[in-house]
Amino acid sequence: MCYGMPLALICLSSALAGRIEELGDDEAKKWRALRHIEDGILDIPSLKPLAENLCLGYEHLPLHLRTLLLYCSAYNWSDTHTHRIERGRLVWRWVAEGFVSEEKEAEGYFEELINRGWIKQHGCYYGRSIKRDGDSNSYIYYEIHPVMLAFLRCNSKEYNFVTCLGLGSDNTSSTSASSPRLIRRLALQQGYPVDFLSSSMSMDVSYTRSLVVLGEVTGLRFDSFKRLRVLDLEDNEDMEDSHLQGICEQLSLRLRYLGLKGTRISKLPREIRKLKHLEILYVGSTQISELPQEIEELKHLRVLDVRATKISALPRQIEELQERLQTLDAAYTSITELPPQIGKLQNLKTLSLRNTQVRELPKEIGELKNLQTLNLRNTQVRELPPEIGELKHLQTLDVRKTRVRELPWQCGRMSQSFRVLAGDSDEHVQLPIGVSEALVNNGEVQCKDIVLSIAILDRFGPPLDEGIFKVPGTHMAIPDFIKHYFRVLSCLDIRLCHKLEDHDQEFLAQMPCLRTLVLRFEALPREHITIKDTGFHTLERFRVDSRVPRITFQRGAMPSLIHLEFKFYVGLPSDDPVGIHHLLSLETVVFRCSEWYSSDAPGIKATIDVVKKEAKEHRNRISLRIINGSDEKISSIEKHTSSENIGSSSATSGVLDTHQDNNDLLPIRMTEEKGVHGGGTCSTCGRSSTIQDETIQDRVTAIDLFGPELNNYGNASHN
């Protein structure tokens, strides 16, 4: 009950102390006594310090925020599930009530209430609290502290803003002569006798604007509510198809919001067309299997939520909702395709098809000029149409758990705030720099016959934080259109035949924004490729895909390079130097072998041995990763400069670097550790060096692994 509020705990304990002994073992009376104290939080002397603190914060709120906050008093504070707030639904209730006019404005107010501490944001992972929404199995929910909620209810009762009945409240006193005659907004909670409401002469619901029913409330008659704007019947199992037909006939004049989530209805009646002013329709988690044609007559509909229903197709008549519809949520349904008429919804901002059987998007998707969020998570979509690049206002594209690994390069015309969620990661992938500039400079016309793309997911590598511009096909040299229109790219992936010409290397070296470069060679280079000591000032990640990486770095080459990766297959062994000790900023070297060849193949092993030897001469501590299919070996190689350093570094030699929190460590299984001699001795002390490898059976996506708890293991194995 405290939730980090000791003042609330002290005051409530003090208020209850005098009455608990008198009530004996009667739990119902104890519960009612607690509710009485909560309802009287502004009047009970022992609660005065708490009330004063809450009043101080409340009075400092702007008037519009006080109004929105008082509306939250309709939520049930004593049930851990029903007092949770679903953000989207509350925001749209505010809109339907007329407190705010637009969703964006309401979202801003909701965020402000979070920042001021009145609404608490929580993350859940399988029922356990987490600190951030950083897991694919997590979800976010919101709630108001029970004591704050009791305070709001007292204020709401005083201003006759929201009337709450049921669930431990004194129903008799609630309907006494002292109660307000006009009920503006009514929240009925589980257990309230509805017949008591209908027979009461002290309450008039003919002017009620909002009716929220929480839980099982049976026998409710809607013909008494003449001016209802908001009707939310979530999880009311007494609600059936015949009741819904009556609602459509009796509340057709003013109803703006209709929430039927979790009820037992199996179809929407034809009378739904009578709700001419309906703006928000929630029918998620019901048994409905189709939307009636009459849906086209709801011209003012802004939100259509059919999540977790049996709907298998959207009707063609949905195009008639083009004037106002902003949110269409069809997640967790049996929908397999979108009708071409979807392109008519010019005002649509959010489209969710998560966990459906949709296989492809129609080209008409590009006509949704105002779309901001597109959720395709866990669908059957494999690729996106080029027309998706027309969605200039798109901010979030979720293609996690799909087979989408590339975006059409036309996506470069999207705004700088555009982000993609891909693979299994919750980290956003942003578009590379330079694509939008090419589109502006008429590059689209010149490249209209070339299928260019932006890679957002590396199947074999770690998650990307920035998309990589891919050039299709195999080229003798870097194409002219790249040099003319894509000079300012930040990420580039290109396949060459068998060599990198000097003039091409000069062009790459002078690209001002290049941070990631992927060079693929179709055939084994006949001569060593020498990376010169000029240019590449911004390059941080360099990947070479070749049979054997016949490449050498000159002193001073690629001064900002941090990550070097080789993907190779098989070739003749060679002990030619690579020159990684010339890469002054280098931290990580990765060898990624084809699944048909292992790192023990002669040509591959020889190159790895050369790099290991050079890594010992590097001034930095190099993390070396060798990946054979699903197996991975990781070595931490550190240069020893003197016998003194060897003695002082014995506690860390062979221990892996980490940039992760201990809580994020992945489970691993280590094999019995063996010394792998890299050949040669330390140039200063003459002592032979030993590289200790640790094998990870499962594929690890982290870059540098493990934490301080492995230090003891490392010390023991070193000694």
3-state secondary structure 606-638: HHHHHHHHHHHCCCCCEEEEEEECCEEEEEEEC
State the pLDDT at residue 140.
Answer: 80
Q: What is the DSSP letter of 645?
A: H
| CATH 1.10.10 location in the chain | 4-125+136-144
Rg (CA), the chain: 33
CB contact burial 302-312 (16+ within 10 A = b; e otherwise): bbbbbbbbebe
Q: Two tokens at 511?
A: 């690209």
State the pLDDT at residue 332.
Answer: 96
State the pLDDT at residue 298.
Answer: 95
Q: Tokens 């990624």, residue?
A: 592
> Vertex 46, ends 40 and 47: CA angle to 5°?
50
State the pLDDT at residue 42.
Answer: 56
Helical (H) or strand (E) element with 265: none
State the pLDDT at residue 410.
Answer: 84
Residues of the chain with pLDDT under 70: 1-50, 76-83, 124-139, 166-181, 191-202, 442-446, 448, 459-462, 570-573, 594-603, 629-719
If 0-12 CB within 10 Å is exposed, 13-18 middle and 19+ buried, where does residue 130 land?
Answer: middle
Specify the fold of 469-636: 3.80.10
> Vertex 343, ends 340 and 345: CA angle to 5°?
130
State the pLDDT at residue 295.
Answer: 93
Q: What is the DSSP letter of 480?
A: H
- Is residue 339 within 8 A of residue 366, CB to CB? The reply is no
Residue 473 — left, alpha, or beta (φ > 0 → left; ψ -120 to 50 → alpha)? left
CA distance 402 to 423: 7
**pTM for this predicted structure:** 0.77
State the pLDDT at residue 278.
Answer: 95
State the pLDDT at residue 609.
Answer: 86
Is CATH 3.40.50.2300 the classification given to domain 146-167+180-363?
Answer: no
Cα 469–chain centre separation: 24
State the pLDDT at residue 68.
Answer: 95
CA distance 86 to 100: 18
State the pLDDT at residue 642.
Answer: 36
Is CATH 2.60.40 the classification given to domain 4-125+136-144?
Answer: no
